[in-house]
Every structure is written in C-alpha cells, then in structure tokens.
A and B are shown apart, each in its own frame.
Chain A
C-alpha cells in the first residue's frame, strides 16, 4: 500500500486537482469541438415540428381564427387553438407566482406576439408555411403600456379573467390591473428619521425592461410513448425536477411516468426557469398525434415573449446627517410584470429579495413598498443573472449613495467607507430583515482604491474638467444575497428550496455524482468534481458529474440565483463527508486499527504516527469486498441540504470612463472588479463567471432595452437593436479578490455567477453620471446609448 514512486504531499494534492485549483473546464472539450448536445440537436424518429401564430396586437379581442388554408399546406397536420386545449384544461396554465397564464390566447390577446395558435407539421418549413396561412380576425382594444398609469381609474382592464378577484396569488389587490402590494420595514420610524434629518435626497430611478437573451433560445422536444404512457420532454430547463412536478400537477400524469431531460444548455440567466406555452403545446401535440414534437424559439420570439427581466420603476430616498452618515432609506416601486404574473422566483415574497436594498451600509431604519401591475406587455419578471430583484436593489442603493455624496460634497469612496457595515458587526441584522453572514467591506474598497490609484484618478479627472474633457469614475460596493435558500424563506409551488447530491464511488476508485442542479455554462462538471476531489482524495479527472435527467438525478430545485454552489455544492461536500465517514470505518477494519487512530492525509487514511495507510482508491475496492460486520457493502450516499441562511457575496468595483462630448460615445478605459465569494473552488471558472457577468452588465448598462411604442408594438426585439456585446465592444476586465469564507457553508463558499451583473451595472452608471457631476447631474437613465448621453451633453451645451 505504498506509492511507487513515492510522491510528496504537495504532489499528491496537485494530482487530485481539488478546491482552489484553476483547472480547465471539463465540459469545454465537447463545446469547443462542436460536440455539445443541445435541445435542437435532438432528432427523434417521426418527430414533428411546431410553430406559433402570434398576435400582431398588444390588446385585442379575437373575433375568429380561420385555420382552413393552413390545414391545406402540404405537411401541416394540425392547428391547435385554445378551444382545442380547453377540454384538456390546458388552455391556461398556473404560473409559479400563483397567477394563471394563457397557453393559447383565449378570446383575447394581452400582448404583441402572444401565442394564438400552434401549427404542427412534418417539418419546420411546413410549420412556418402553415403559420402564415392562419387567418385571425381581431377587434382592437386600447392598450396599457405605461405601468405608472396601470392603476388609474380609467386604465384599460387587461385581465378580464381575474378582474373581479380579490387576489391573484400574492395577497390583496385593489384594482383590476393590480397584482400585489408588498411592504417591509418600519414606516413610522423611517418617516420620523426623514422628518428630522439634515440631508434628504430623492431620485426617480428606472431599471428598464431587458432580457437575459441566452445564446440558445428556449425550446423542447416532447415525446409521449403511447404504449407505456410515459412522457419524455427534452428541454431548456434550468430546473428539470420542478418542471416534472409541475407537468404532473397540470396533466395529472404520474410523476413516475414523466421524464424531464435538460441536455446541454446554452445559457439561461433566468430565461429558462419558467414554463412557457411552447412546452405545453409541444407536449399536448405529442399526446394527440402520438409523435414526438419539437418546438424551438426564434430569436425574436425569445426576446419578445419569454421571460424579460427588471422593468422596475423606483423612487429612492436617503436621509443623512451632515457628515453623510445614512440615517434611513425609503424605496417605492412600481413593478411591471406584463400581462400575466409569470415571474419565476423561489422566494415567498412577491418582490423577492428587494429588501437587500440596504446594500453594504449600516442603515438604522428603512421602508420599502412595491406594487406589481399588469400591462399589455410580454409576461414575466425573471432574475437576469441575479437573485430575484437583488440587482434592482443594488442599483438603487449604489446610485443613491452616489447622489448623497454629490449632495454633501463628500468623496464617493469616502461616503461608502463612512457607512459600511463594519467587519466586527457580522453576523449583521439589517433593518429590513436580513442577517448578513459575513463580510469585510472596508478592506475590499481600500484594496480596490489602491489598485487603481483612486487619488491619482481623481486628480486626473480634476485636470480634465479644467480642460472641458469628460472623465468619470464609478464605484460600486455591492452586497448580494444568493443561494435560495432556506426552506422557511423559499419555495416553488410549495417545494422547499433544498438541493441534493448523490455520490457513488466505484470499486476501482472513480466516482459518479449526480445533483439536482443544472449547469447552463457555469462549469458544474468541473467545480463540483473538485469539491469531491478534496473531500475524498480522488483525482477530479476520475469524477464524473451528471445533472439534468430526472430519471437519474436526485430531486433538486435547479440552477439560478447563484444557488448551485451555496446549496447543491454544500450537499456535495456533505455527501462526500458521509462517504468519508464510512470509508474510515472500512479503513480501520482493513488496517486493523482503531478509527480514532486514523488521520486523513490528502488521499488516504494513515494510522497516526506510523507509515501504515490506506488510500481512498483501495478503500473503495474494500467497500465492495471486505467490510466489517454490521456495515453495508458499497460506497454510495445522497445528501439533501437545506441551508440555514442565504450567502452574502460582495465586491468593490471601480470603473473609469471617457466620454466623447460631441457624439456621446462612452469609452470604458478601465474596469477593476474585486469580488469576495468566500472559498474559491476554481479560480479560473470564477474569473470566467466574472468576465461573463461583467459583459452582460456592460450590455445592460449601455444598450439592452426591450421597449414598446404607445400602441404596444415591441421595439428592438432582434439582435440588430438589442445590444449583445461582442469581443469588439467588451472592455478589458481586471479581476481581483478577497476571501471571507461563509461561516455556515460546509466549505465556506458563497456563489459568484451573479455578483458581476449585480455590481457591474451601477458601476457603469455611476461612472457616466460622475463624468457630469460637476455640472450638477445626479442621474442619467439607462441604457446609456450614445443618443441618450448626447442628450445630456446637448442640454448642458457641452457639445459645442
């Protein structure tokens, strides 16, 4: 049982490639060779294709649907309308938020491009030909586009189906277009603090409607096996098990007769959490025709119908003393949820985690009120690379702190240092109800300031201002709340937000582990193997990670909200530790030693103070051949983990921009991002996540908006207009880190995927506004297109 040749401890650790190793991503081998297996790559024998007839109007009654000409098209087999789904009770479907959403428009359409009929054909072309030939007659109704007008007395009623209801799944409501009212905090104390404060600032800050726009759009292949009654759905699902349960609840099929498979997924960012009419129609069509049916969204379908994000219209206020010490925060929000409340999020509250709006600051008191409303726009409200409503909250507080700095004349870094929750205050209970687990905000900001020579930048800026040049420095010192989550706080359709990992160690010492999460590009196959590698001393390369097939993976709640590492990662570590406990018993048995005398050493148990040891690889074989009496054979286990709290990653970002005062063009000269996500499992994967998240943040800040004209026509729903930054536009990123381990996570990790989006967006806006701060500008609306920045330049006369 000795190594030949004998390796040093360090060499053995390196061989394992565990936690802390910048290991190349295992999944990339297939992706860079074009060998990924995405939903649209799946082709089943006899497979049919579906496509939607979509509404040309934002708000209209359907007078008639004529399918006769479509059915004459060669290859078209069926045209399904709401009337056809009604007998199956599938024309409407329950949403994750307690509302109902039309699968196919039932008597009226509520937004442009809404699904009206589903054409099923032998091939994709015939389906599109059929769509062109379905004739729908509409009677137009006045549309409601501006969410701020939704609760007016004379506002058009959008949802006749629920107009009289006292609630639509999220508490009481007081207007046919009202969805919910959510209040948190101490209103009286907050009002009192504002009354007496020396300094008060207030700003209307909108976070426009944008879209996650993953490279792969949504889609599925549904296949009903008429013989054994089993429905298999391959689809772009971020949470396959939840989909299985929901399908069972909707269709009445036994869950054991439903198999949901998420194959490789080309990015999700929240877009692939919800349930969409395409899934239901493909499944219904497969049940009816007996053939597999594929449905794949086009880019325009994706941008204009499935799962937008944000659309938060916020009014934020801070009260402070003369030294810039924040005394109170107040926020009032109108949340535009579109035509159906299909926001996909696991929190028990309708505005999710928006009450993290206290950010990184020690604010004694605060009050938040959010009202959700219906409009004639695509339904949704998902968290685009963030935990639900955290990015809106972070944007608001980071903007408000900047405005307070300008109002008080205090430097924007200094005002943050004066207000930070201090390291010794953790665990910190915020005035809006969260217990921040850990953090060291001053160190993060001071490290960032030093790295970019903040004082030097401010000096340069002053010189540039004297010459009439525009340079801006933006700071964002954000705190995230991720890892949904504690079952007491979080559920989806009643299912607690635990997650799971099952580990099987094979006799020859390799491993397969399956999780309830689903990677969409996060690199789970790489990072989760590293957790097991460190825990069990088995090389990462010998560990296979599998996710996404409900027939094989343990039940889990999926991947979004940076929850995979905080929840499933914890389950993985705990499952590995259970394996290790059993392995120790086996080692003691084989080595004829007492368990108490065994010490763990990288990849083996050693009898303390001796050269007798047994490698995990050999213990694995013994588990199948030589176990002590009373112990079961095998080396497998499963862990279900319910986290005691969320995790609170944080960071300090500094962005430097130069603005062309004649064109409004913004050049990002420098972007420094310091992130603290606790224990770092794979620094290369973390860097990749930060690069991707910052690129998306840049896209959002500079040009991602799904807008509508006054009649409800969706504008910019193609990549011609919608800004998906390429390598040409994307700035250089400098990444850095501190490590403040999470005190309640088995390996101290916190989650990282979403921090750069949450923290990045305010850094860009703060930098751009900072460029104009000496002209008294306190806020500029996103996205910061050249045209909008120029408008500010023009109003100030700076472009002459």
Chain B
C-alpha cells in the first residue's frame, strides 16, 4: 500500500468536517470505512491531498425510529446493520444485503453511508435505497437538505453530493405491515461486486399487489429503478406470469457492460433471474408477516 502524499484529519464534530470540506473542496476526501477509497489510493487512482476521517464522530452512527421513519447514521457499519434488531424486524432487506457485502472484515469497517454516497454502481445499498424510496440528509456549512435517493445518482461516481457536503443520515420510510422485501445477488465469490442483483419491495392486500418497487445493482452507470418491472406486478396476484413480465421489464431496463463477470447477454439474463427470485421471496415474506 503506497499511496501518494496526503494530510490526515480526524475531526470530532460534524461541524469540523464541514469546515474542512469547505476549505479543501475537491482536494478533500471523506474517509468512512475506506473500502472503496483506500484501494483507489493504493493504486493511485485517487490521490486526495486531504483525508478527513469521520470515524471519531459518534453522532454519525446509530439506528433509530422516529415518526414512521427509520433513521440510520451514515457512519453506521454494515456489521451494525446486520446486528440491528430494529432493522431485522422492520426492514430486513438491509441486514440481508449487508450479509452479501464482502466479508466480515470489510463489514466491520464499511459503512452504509459510504456505500450509498460513493456512487459506485457496484455498491449494493443504492438499489435498496431506490426500492425503499429512502432519502439522504446532506449537510454543509450553510445548512442541510434532504434529497430522495431516486434523485441522487447521476453517473458512475457522480452524485448530487456537492464537494462541501457530507451525507449524515439515511431516512427510510418504515415499511407498512404486509410489505415483503428481498435482495437477491449473484456474484462470483466473496468480496466481488454483483454480476447482477435485484432489490424488491412489495405490499399485498386481499391477494393483490398494492405497491411494489424493483431496483437493480451493477447493471448500469448507477443503481437502476425499474418502474416497468414494478408496474408489471402492481395490481396483479403476483403469479408466475406477472413475475415473468416483471423480469422481462427489468431485463429491458438494465444496461450492463461485458466484463470479467460475464457477457451482456449473461448479465442481462441474471437481472431477470434475480428479479424473479427477489419477487418470489418478497412475496413469501408478505405471507409470513
């Protein structure tokens, strides 16, 4: 690990982070879990002049519920997500997905905020946030704003996060009773990004799907929300034919590239298969709840 020269900062308060971000602009990079940034620095693909380590800031960690909203601190680790009783009870797709992220060492450091804010289409949490219709709290010295995850992602490593802003919280609407959810991911091995993955939430009432969302990981420039796939199951009994239509829609919406994980044809097919499996599992969880 031979990164370029950088100065290391470890502030204790959010305000201090914001002051440093305001001062350094593009030369400053926030270090949370470091599992995206540090490998890039190792390869010198990133050579930030200033590293702003936020791990000393307790207020950025923790999971709570307030007014129908689950609020997750941005520096909450994936291991903490997996261990959260609140999430396992009310929003299990997040702990389920965390368990599919890399290995325990990575999950002990890697944070949900970093996963969401980094803008890497290979990260797992953005698609889930799209499906859950979560929003992000972004702060700078001037104040804070709330932005929907569905408005946040622009392109590879490009998001609505400004240079002087810090993602501090993630707000997830607490899923209503009768909501089932599932994240299905196919990868080559531990530590790999998805060949394709699908996040599905759906609500059933009297045997009919009243609401649904389908989002996809690592098969486009950003995580993708497939409105068509959701439409295919909404209003249906979520039978095999509806599931097939949703899978076809997700396949039509995705834009994977060929890489070491497979051809476009294969990765597209896996979008369909993961969508199918996620819908089926989400449905089974509605029945179980």
A binds B: yes
- Chain A residues with CB under 8 Å of chain B are 51, 124-125, 127-129, 132, 662-665, 703, 715-716, 719-721, 723, 725-726, 728-729, 785-787, 790-791, 794, 799
Q: Is B169 an interface residue (CB 8 A)?
A: no
Asked, given contacts A726-B103, A790-B269, whether A129 binds B4 with beta carbons under 8 Å apart, the answer is yes
A729 and B269 contact, Cβ closer than 8 Å, known pairs A721-B260, A787-B261, A787-B263: no
User: B280 in the interface, Cβ–Cβ < 8 Å?
Assistant: no
B63 to chain A minimum Cβ distance, whole angstroms, is 27
Do B189 and A726 touch across chains, with their CB atoms under 8 A apart? yes
Whether B188 contacts A663 by the Cβ 8 Å rule is no
Q: List 12 A-B contacts (CB under 8 A).
A: A127-B2, A128-B2, A132-B4, A662-B273, A715-B260, A725-B189, A785-B188, A787-B195, A790-B262, A794-B266, A794-B269, A799-B269
Which residue of chain B has the shortest Cβ distance to A125 in the bound complex? B2
Q: With A132-B44, A794-B269 in contact, do A723 and B189 touch (Cβ < 8 Å)?
A: yes
- Chain A residues near B260: list those with CB within 8 A: 715-716, 721
Contact B186 A790 (CB under 8 A): no
New A-B pairs, 20, CB < 8 Å, besides A127-B2, A715-B260, A786-B262:
A128-B4, A664-B266, A665-B186, A720-B191, A720-B192, A726-B103, A726-B189, A726-B190, A728-B103, A728-B190, A729-B190, A785-B188, A786-B266, A787-B195, A787-B263, A787-B266, A790-B266, A794-B266, A794-B269, A799-B269
Asked whether A729 lies within 8 Å of B266 as measured between CB atoms, the reply is no
The answer to the question of B270 belonging to the interface, with a C-beta cut-off of 8 Å to chain A, is yes
Given the interface pairs A125-B2, A785-B262, A786-B262, the reply to whether A703 lies near B189 with Cβ below 8 Å is: yes
Q: Which residue of B lies closest to A662 (CB)?
A: B273
- Which B residue's beta carbon lies closest to that of A126? B2
**Hey, which bits of chain B sit against chain A, CB under 8 A?**
2-5, 44, 103, 186, 188-192, 195, 260-263, 265-266, 269-270, 273
Q: Is the CB of A723 within 8 A of B266?
A: no
Q: A128-B2, A721-B260, A791-B266 are in contact. Are A786 and B188 (CB under 8 A)?
A: yes
How many A-B pairs with Cβ below 8 Å?
A: 60
A residues near B269, Cβ cutoff 8 Å? 790, 794, 799
Q: How far is the CB of A108 from chain B (nearest CB, A)?
A: 26
A524 to B2 CA separation, bound complex (whole angstroms): 35
Contacts of A721 in B (CB 8 A): 260
Q: Give the docked Cα–Cα distance between A723 and B191 (Å).
A: 10
Alpha-carbon distance A435/B170, docked complex (angstroms): 71
Given the complex of chains A and B, what is the CA–CA distance between A693 and B192 in angstroms? Answer: 23
| Chain B residue at minimum C-beta to C-beta distance from A128 | B2
Closest 10 CB pairs of A and B: A787-B262, A128-B2, A721-B260, A787-B266, A728-B190, A662-B273, A726-B190, A125-B2, A716-B260, A124-B2
The answer on a CB contact under 8 Å between A723 and B188 is yes
- The residues of B that contact A715 with a CB separation of less than 8 Å are 260
- Residues of A contacting B195 with CB < 8 Å? 786-787
> How far, in whole Å, are A726 and B191 apart by their CA atoms in the complex?
10
In the bound assembly, the distance between CA atoms of A124 and B4 in angstroms comes to: 11
Whether the Cβ atoms of A729 and B189 lie closer than 8 Å is yes
Q: Which residues of A contact B270 (CB under 8 A)?
A: 663
Residues of B within 8 A of A791 (CB): 263, 266
User: Considering only CB atoms, which chain A residue lies closest to B190 in the complex?
Assistant: A728
Name, among B195, B262, B266, the residue most crowded by chain A CB atoms within 10 Å (CB to CB): B266
Please give me the residue from chain A that is nearest to B267 by CB atom.
A787
Distance of A663 Cα from B186 Cα, bound (Å): 8
* Chain A residues whose C-beta falls within 8 Å of the C-beta of B265 in the assembled complex: 794
- Most chain B Cβ neighbours within 10 Å, of A129, A716, A726, A785: A785
Q: How far is the CA of A44 from the CA of B2 in the complex (A)?
A: 20
Which residues of chain A are within 8 angstroms of B266 by Cβ–Cβ distance? 664, 786-787, 790-791, 794
Point out the residues of chain B lying under 8 angstroms from A723, CB to CB. 188-189
A101 and B64 alpha carbons, distance in the complex (Å): 63
Closest Cβ–Cβ distance, residue B106 to chain A (whole Å):
12
Residues of B within 8 A of A720 (CB): 191-192
B288 vs chain A, min Cβ distance (A): 24
Q: Which residues of B contact A703 (CB under 8 A)?
A: 188-189
Docked CA distance A707–B7 (Å): 38
Question: Complex formed: what's the CA distance from A669 to B190 in Å?
Answer: 19
The distance from the CB of A34 to the nearest CB of chain B, in whole angstroms, is 16
Interchain nearest-CB distance for A725 vs B (Å)? 7
Give bound CA distance, A127 to B3, whole Å: 11
The complex places the Cα of A720 from the Cα of B44 at a distance, in Å, of: 17
Nearest CB of chain A from residue B225's CB, rounded to whole Å: 23
Bound complex: CA of A790 vs CA of B3, how far in Å? 40
A590 to B191, CA, bound (A): 67
Please measure, in the bound complex, the distance between the C-alpha atom of A405 and the C-alpha atom of B260, giving whole angstroms: 34
Which chain A residue has the least Cβ–Cβ distance from B186? A663
Once the chains are docked, how many angstroms separate the CA of A543 from the CA of B186?
Answer: 51
Nearest residue, chain B, Cβ from A726: B190
* Nearest-Cβ distance from residue A682 to partner chain B, whole angstroms: 31
Q: Write out the residue numbers on chain B whose beta carbons fall within 8 Å of the beta carbon of A719.
A: 191
Q: Which residue of A lies closest to B39 (CB)?
A: A720
| A306 to B145 alpha-carbon distance, docked (Å) | 52
If A128-B44, A720-B191, A791-B266 touch, whether A663 touches B103 (CB-CB below 8 Å) is: no
Q: Which residues of A contact B263 (CB under 8 A)?
A: 787, 791
The residue on B at minimum CB distance from A699 is: B189
Rounded to whole angstroms, the CA-CA distance of A746 and B204 in the bound complex is 75
Query: Which residues of the other chain, A, contact B192 by a CB distance below 8 angstroms?
Result: 720
Closest Cβ of chain B: how far from A710's Cβ, in Å? 14
In the complex, A721→B193 CA distance in Å? Answer: 10
CA distance A51 to B262 in the complex (A): 34
Chain B residues whose CB sits within 8 angstroms of the CB of A124 once the complex forms: 2
Please report the C-alpha to C-alpha distance between residue A799 and residue B266 in the assembled complex, in whole angstroms.
11
Q: Which of B2, B4, B44, B273 contacts A663 (CB 8 A)?
A: B273
Complex Cα distance, B189 from A728, in Å, reads: 8
Measured CA separation A124–B42 after assembly (Å): 12
